[in-house]
Homo-oligomer: A and B are copies of this chain.
Amino acid sequence: MNEIEKIIKENSLGLDTKKGRFGIEKESVRVKENGELATTPHPKIFGDKIKNLYITVDFSESQIEMITPIENSVEKAYDFLRNIHEIVITNLKNEYLWSQSVPPILPDEELIPIGKFPENKELEEYRKLLSLKYGRKKQLLSGVHFNFSFDNEFLIELYELSDKKITFKEFKNNIYLKISRNYFKYGWMIIYLLGASPVVHETYLEKCINKMKKFTEDTYYFEDLVSFRNGSCGYRNEKDFFVNYESVDKYVESLENLIEKDSISNAKEYYSPVRLKTKNPKDILKELKNNGIEYLEFRSIDLNPFSEIGIEKQDLEFLHLFILFLFLKDDESFDEKDYFTYLKNQEILANKGNSDEFRLICCKDKNVSPKEFSMVIIDEIEKHLKNIGAFTNKDDKTLQYQKNKILSNTLYSDLILKEVKQKGFIKFHMDKSKYFLYEMEKIPYTLKGFEDLELSTQILLKAAIKNGVKFEILDRDENFISLEKNGKIEYVKQATKTSLDSYVTMLIMENKVVTKKVLEKKGIIVPEGKNYFNIDEAKRDYRKYRGGIVIKPKSTNFGLGITIFKDKFSKEDYEKALEIAFKEDNSILIEKFVKGKEYRILIINDEVAGILHRVPANIKGDGIRSIKELVAKKNLDSLRGVGYKTPLEKIKLEDPEKLFLKGQGLTIEDIPKKDNVIYLRENSNISTGGDSLDYTDEILDIYKEIAVKASKAVGAKICGVDMMIEDINNSNPNENYSIIELNFNPAIHIHCYPYKGKNRNIGEKILSALQYL
C-alpha cells in the first residue's frame, strides 16, 4: 500500500475516489445502404450543427460527432451516448452509421466533403488545412474519446489531507499529469483490449494500402493488426513530437514550441493518446496555465462494430478502473526517451500486437507479451482498488470481462477478422449497423437512463437531444427539468407544465365549474348544467330535467359519486343519485348527458397538435385463434407493457375481462370469426388495455377551431381538450359537440405512439412553442 492509498483508506475516501465526471465523444461516418460513404449534407433535422451540443459534424460533413454532457457515472454517460446514437440512426433517411473506425467504401479524396460551416469560416479553413496536411481519407478515421475528471469535492478533501505545500491548482495538475504519464506507459493495454480496426477497405489511402497485405477481395491488413487507427498509418501526427508532461508549464511550452515551428497549427492538432483539457475550451494553452487541468481526454478507443452504439459499457467501466489504477500506481521516471519508447510501444502493439510472438518494449521486463502483462495489470488494478477499500462486485465483473477476452482469444480484432473473412468487410459492418437500427426501432419511446421519468418527459428530452437543446434534471421524482439553448432558459415540469401557461390558466382548467363558466361566456358549448350546494334545491329541480343527465360531485376522483341517466329516470332514482353525489362533495353538478364519442384534442400554441380517440381493450378474430391467443398475440406489440412505462398497456384476462366476455356469452377459449371485433372492457382507458387511435387528420377543421377557441378562452397554450362529437362527419357543430373538460397536463406520449396512426412529434412541438426550434 503506497502513501496515497493509505490516506484514502484511512479517511474512508475509497468510494469518493470512484466518483467522477464522465463524458463521451464519438465519431461515425454516414454510409449509404451499399456501404459507400454518404456525401450528403449533415441532416437538417438535427438543427444548426454549431448550436447542437449533442449532434454535430467532425472533420467531414459525412462524419457525425456525438457528444454527451458531463455525467457523474460511466453508466449515465454511456446511456446518454446510446440515446444520441439512437436518435441519430432512427432519424437518418436511407442512410446508416458506419460501425467501424476505419472508413467504408470511399470515393476519391476530393469527393469527400469537408464539414461546412457557412457561419464560421475559421472552422472550414482549419478543415481545409487538415485535409491538405493529412488527406481527407485519414481524417475520416473515427473513434471514441472518453473524458474523465475526479469529483472536485474529493480532490479538495485529498488536498486538505496533504501537506499543502503547493496550491490546490498545482495539486490537481500533478494528479492529472501523473495519470497522463502513466497512460503513455500503460495505454497500450487499452489499444490491445479495445482495438477493433484490424483490416482496411481497399479504397483507403493508397500509400497505406500499398504497405499492406490483401486480406479479402476488397480489404488489406497487416498481419496481427489490432488497431489500424492507433497504428503507424493511423490517426496521428506526421511525426512524433516530444511533449513534456512533467508540469503544466512545460507541457504548454512544448506545444507552444511546436506551434512556433509550424509543426502543428494549434494545440488541438497534437494527436496524443491523452489530452489535458480545460474548463473553458477557448485558448486552451493560456487556460491551462491560468486555471490548470480540468479533465483528461482519452483518445485511443476504436469503434466496436459488435456493440450497439460502437462502444461497450463494460469497456468504458474498465477504462475508468484503469484510470484509477494509473492514479494510484506509483509514478516512475518519464523523460524524453521514455516518452518516445511508450509511443513506439503503442504503435507497434497496434500494428502487430495480436501475435503470440509479439513482445512489448514499454516496460522494465522487456520480454513480456501483452497477454501476460495485461493479466498482471488487471490483478494490480484489483489490488489497488482493494487497498483503498473500493473494490466491488461490479468491478470484479468489469475486470473479468477483460480477462475473458484475453484468455479465450476473443479480442475484438480477432473476432472482426473472422467475421470479415466470412461475410466480407462491407456486408459484415453493414449487417451490424442494420441489425442495431432494427433493434432500436422496436422500442422507440424510452430514453436510456431516464426510464424512471414519465414517458412524456422522456419524449420531450429526446426531442431536446435531437435538436441540441441542453437540459438538466432538476428533480427526477417530479419530472422537473430545465432547458437551455442560446442563453434562453426554460423550466418544465412533466413535459407540459411550462412558462407558456399562466398559473391562473391552470387553475381555471383544474376547476370544472369555472372552466364551464369561462367557456360558456365565449359561446362554446359545454354540457348544460347547474351547480347545487343544497340537496333540497336540487330535488326541487327534478321537474326541469328531461332526457339524459349526469349527476356528479364538483370534485371527484376515480369517478366516485357519478350517476349517468342516459334517458328517462324516476324521481326516486334521481333523488338517490343526488344523495350519492352529495356524499362526495358539498357541491354537485347536474349536466345534460352528451351523446357521441370522446376525442382528446391536444392544443399547443393555438394549434391542434394531435387528436386521439380511445377504444376499449379489444381483439379482432382471425377464425383460427381463441380470444386468449389473440390477446397474447396483441400483447406482443412492444408498445404494450405493464405499469405505465410504455405507450399502451397489455390487455389482461382477469375477472373484469372474463365477466365482460360472459356478458356477451363468450369465454376466453372461444374462437371469434374472422374480422369480428370482440371487446374485453366497457371502459376505454389505456391503463386497462384500451387502444389509442390517431384521428388528427380525420376530424373536421370546424371542431379543431372550436378546440383552439376553447383553449384560448382560458388562455392556455398547452391544453388537452376533451370533446364529445356525435357525428364527426357533420360539418354543423350545433348540437353535435360539447366540450366536457380541459386538461392542463395532457399526456403527450399517446399522440406520439398511438396504437394506430402517425407519431405527431409532440416533443418537438413543445420545443417549438418554447421557441427553441
Query: Which residues of A come within 8 Å of B, CB atoms?
Result: 12, 15, 474-475, 477-478, 480, 490-493, 497-508, 511, 513-514, 517-518, 540, 586-587, 715, 744
- Please state if A474 and B514 are interface contacts (CB–CB under 8 Å): yes
- A502 touching B501, Cβ below 8 Å: yes
Q: How many Å from the CB of A442 to the closest CB on chain B?
A: 32
Which residue on B lies nearest to A494, using beta carbons? B507
Find the B residue at minimum CB distance from A518.
B491
Known contacts A477-B587, A540-B12, A587-B477; A504 and B493 CB within 8 A of each other: yes
Would you call B507 and A497 a contact (CB within 8 A)?
Answer: yes
**Nearest neighbor of A491 in chain B, beta-carbon distance:** B504
Set B475, B505, B508, B517: member contacting A514, Cβ < 8 A: B475
* Smallest beta-carbon distance A729→chain B, Å: 35
A505 to B475, CA, bound (A): 15
User: Can you name the residue of chain B whose Cβ is closest to the Cβ of A474?
Assistant: B514
Known: A491-B514, A514-B491, A518-B491. A744 touches B477 (CB 8 A): no
Q: Give the residue name and chain of the B residue nearest to A716 (CB).
A: B503
Checking B12, B478, B506, B514 against A503 with a beta-carbon cut-off of 8 angstroms, the contacting residue is B506
Some 16 contacts from A to B, beta carbons below 8 A apart, are A12-B540, A474-B513, A474-B517, A477-B586, A480-B507, A491-B504, A491-B514, A491-B518, A492-B504, A497-B503, A497-B504, A498-B503, A499-B502, A501-B502, A502-B502, A503-B505
**Contact: A499 with B491, CB < 8 Å?**
no
Alpha-carbon gap, A517 to B508, bound state (A): 29
Q: How far is the CA of A498 from the CA of B503 in the complex (A)?
A: 6
Given A475-B513, A502-B503, 14 further pairs, Cβ under 8 A: A12-B540, A475-B511, A477-B586, A477-B587, A478-B511, A497-B503, A498-B504, A499-B502, A499-B715, A500-B503, A501-B503, A503-B503, A503-B506, A503-B744
- The smallest C-beta distance from A645 to any residue of chain B, in angstroms, reads 19
- Chain B residue nearest to A516 (CB atoms) is B474
A501 to B715, CA, bound (A): 13
Closest to A496 in B: B503
**Residue numbers in B under 8 Å from A505 (CB-CB):** 499, 503
Which residues of B lie under 8 Å from residue A491 when comparing CB positions? 504, 507-508, 514, 518
Tell me which residues across on chain B come within 8 A of A506, comparing CB atoms. 503
B480 close to A514 (CB less than 8 A) = yes
Chain B residue, CB-CB nearest to A500:
B502
Q: How far is the CB of A503 from chain B (nearest CB, A)?
A: 4
What's the number of copies of this chain in the assembled complex? 2
Q: In the complex, what distance in Å separates the CA atom of A744 from the CA atom of B500?
A: 17
Contacts of A475 in B (CB 8 A): 511, 513-514
Distance in angstroms from A521 CB to nearest chain B CB is: 8
CA distance A500 to B715 in the complex (A): 12
Q: How far is the CA of A475 from the CA of B504 in the complex (A)?
A: 13
Taking the closest CB of chain B, its distance from the CB of A604, in whole angstroms, is: 14
Q: Taking CB as reference atom, which chain B residue is nearest A536? A: B15
Q: What is the bound-complex CA distance between A270 and B492, given in angstroms? A: 63
**Residues in chain B near residue A492, CB distance under 8 A:** 504
Name A493's contact: one of B474, B478, B507 (CB within 8 Å).
B507
In the complex, what distance in Å separates the CA atom of A503 from the CA atom of B743? 13
How far apart are A551's CB and chain B's nearest CB, in angstroms? 19
Q: In the complex, what residue of chain B is closest to A502 when comparing beta carbons?
A: B499
Which B residues touch A478, using CB under 8 A?
511, 514
| A284 to B503 Cα, complex, angstroms | 42
Provide the residues of chain B in CB contact with A540, threshold 8 Å.
Answer: 12, 15
**Nearest 5 pairs of A and B residues by beta carbon:** A499-B502, A501-B503, A474-B514, A503-B506, A491-B504
Q: Are B514 and A504 in contact (CB under 8 A)?
A: no
Question: What is the distance, in angstroms, from A483's C-beta to the closest C-beta of chain B?
Answer: 11
How far does the Cβ of A20 sit from chain B's closest Cβ, in whole Å?
16
Contact partners of A715 in chain B: CB under 8 A: 499
Q: How far is the CB of A169 from chain B (nearest CB, A)?
A: 22
Closest Cβ of chain B to A351, distance in Å, is: 47
Q: Nearest B residue to A745 by beta-carbon distance?
A: B503
- Distance to closest chain B CB from A537 (angstroms): 9
Residue of B nearest to A714 (CB): B491
Chain B's nearest CB lies how many Å from the CB of A225?
Answer: 46
Q: Which residue of B lies closest to A492 (CB)?
A: B504
Once bound together, how far apart are the Cα atoms of A501 and B502, in whole Å? Answer: 6
- Chain B residues with Cβ below 8 Å from A744 are 503
Residue with the highest number of chain B CB atoms closer than 10 Å, among A15, A499, A503, A504: A503
Min CB distance A488 to B, Å, is 12
Whole-angstrom CA separation of A504 from B500 in the bound complex: 8
A616 to chain B, nearest CB (A): 33
The docked-state distance in angstroms from the alpha carbon of A15 to that of B514 is: 27
In the complex, chain B residues whose CB is within 8 Å of the CB of A514: 474-475, 478, 480, 491
CA distance in complex: A506, B477 (Å): 17
Q: Which residues of B contact A501 (CB under 8 A)?
A: 502-503
Please give, as numbers and ranges, the residues of chain B lying within 8 Å of A15 by CB-CB distance.
Answer: 540
Nearest neighbor of A531 in chain B, beta-carbon distance:
B475
Interface centre among A12, A474, A513 (most CB of B within 10 A): A474
Q: Which of A12, A504, A517, A518 has the most CB of B within 10 A?
A: A504
Complex Cα distance, B507 from A373, in Å, reads 57
* Cβ–Cβ < 8 Å partners of A503 in chain B: 497-503, 505-506, 744
Other-chain contact of A511, B480, B490, B507 (Cβ < 8 Å): B480
Contacts of A518 in B (CB 8 A): 491
Complex Cα distance, B508 from A498, in Å, reads: 10
Among A474, A507, A513, residue most surrounded by chain B Cβ atoms (within 10 Å):
A507
Most buried by B among A477, A492, A498, A501: A477
> Of all chain B residues, which has the CB nearest A493?
B507
| Residue of B whose beta carbon sits closest to that of A506 | B503
In whole angstroms, how far apart are the Cα atoms of A156 and B587 in the complex?
26
A498 to B506, CA, bound (A): 10
Q: In whole Å, how far is A423's beta carbon from the nearest beta carbon of chain B?
A: 47
Q: How far is the CB of A676 from chain B (nearest CB, A)?
A: 46
B contact residues around A504 at 8 Å (CB): 490-493, 497-499
The distance from the CB of A764 to the nearest CB of chain B, in whole angstroms, is 19
Across the interface, name the chain B residue whose C-beta is closest to A501: B503
Return chain B residues, CB-CB under 8 Å to A12.
Answer: 540
Contacts of A499 on B, CB cut-off 8 Å?
Answer: 502-505, 715
- The answer for the CA separation of A504 and B490 in the assembled complex, in Å, is 9
Q: Chain B residues with Cβ under 8 A from A586's Cβ?
A: 477
Which B residues touch A587, using CB under 8 A?
Answer: 477
Shortest distance between the CB of A587 and any CB in chain B (Å): 7
- Chain B residues with CB below 8 A from A511, complex form: 474-475, 478, 480
Closest B-chain residue to A481, C-beta based? B514
With a CB–CB cut-off of 8 A, which chain B residues contact A497? Answer: 503-504, 507
A744→B744 CA distance, assembly (Å): 18
Q: How far does the Cβ of A342 sit from chain B's closest Cβ, in whole Å? A: 38
Q: Which residue on B lies nearest to A718, using beta carbons?
A: B503
With CB as the reference atom, state the residue of chain B lying closest to A515: B474
Q: Which chain B residues border A474 with CB–CB below 8 Å?
A: 511, 513-514, 517
| Nearest residue, chain B, Cβ from A472 | B517
Within the complex, the shortest CB–CB distance from A482 to chain B, in Å, comes to 8
Inter-chain CA distance A503–B506, complex, in Å, is: 7
